[in-house]
């Protein structure tokens, strides 16, 4: 599986604030330019949230074009992160993962909750980016660990920065 490189959604609030401050854009202009719903950028700024994968794809094209046009923003193009696409996560689970229960348990993830909420959001691409990042990390850990030695990363550990 190949990972997709995306401008880091964790830095969107930094980008948006700088565009407002330095270039005088309004939040509404940024939302329209990206194709997001009204107030979406405000939600990211206010709640310090990460967008869904689909919203990241929408933002990717906008930010790349915007940053390429300005020397003061070009450095942001290097702030990238790699994830498996949601469909690749599903494919991996269906064809490559030999013990889904172990993989989910390593993340302190309940299988029924995964099937009810995470799997449908993977199917539509509406999965929160940080959850997709968690799945990416845990797929890599699972694949790279000797049989029986898989130690997953839970969302709590991920949010505390305990990625090691």
Helix (H, G, I), strand (E, B) or coil at 150: coil
**If residue 26 lies in a helix (H) or strand (E), which one and from where to where?**
none
Q: What is the mean pLDDT of residues 20-27?
A: 93
Residue 35 pLDDT level (bands cut at 50, 70, 90): very high
CB atoms within 10 A of CB 154: 15
Q: Quick one: what percent of the chain has pLDDT higher than 70?
A: 99
Tokens 């979406």 correspond to: 40
The Cα 119–Cα 130 span in angstroms is 15
Query: Binning pLDDT at 50, 70 and 90, where does residue 54 land?
Result: very high
Domain boundaries defined on the chain: 4-81, 84-159
Rounded Cα distance, 120 and 137, in Å: 20
Whether residue 107 has pLDDT greater than 70: yes
pLDDT of 122 above 90: yes
**CB count in 10 Å sphere of residue 23:** 13
Between 85 and 159, residue with greater pLDDT: 85
pLDDT of residue 155: 87
């Amino acid at each position: 599986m190949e990972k997709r490189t995306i401008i880091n959604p964790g830095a969107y609030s930094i980008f948006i604030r700088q565009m407002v401050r330095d270039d005088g854009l309004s939040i509404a202009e940024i939302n329209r330019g990206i194709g997001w719903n009204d107030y979406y950028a405000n939600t990211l700024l206010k709640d310090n949230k990460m967008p869904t994968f689909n919203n990241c794809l929408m933002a990717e094209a906008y930010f790349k074009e915007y940053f390429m046009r300005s020397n003061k923003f070009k450095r942001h193009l290097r702030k990238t992160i790699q994830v498996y696409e949601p469909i690749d996560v599903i494919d991996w689970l269906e064809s490559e993962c030999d013990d889904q229960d172990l993989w989910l348990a390593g993340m302190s993830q309940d299988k029924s909750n995964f099937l009810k909420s995470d799997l449908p959001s993977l199917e539509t691409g509406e999965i929160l980016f940080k959850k997709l990042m968690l799945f990416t990390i845990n797929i890599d850990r699972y694949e790279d660990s000797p049989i029986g030695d898989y130690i997953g990363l839970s969302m709590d550990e991920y949010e505390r920065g305990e990625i090691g």
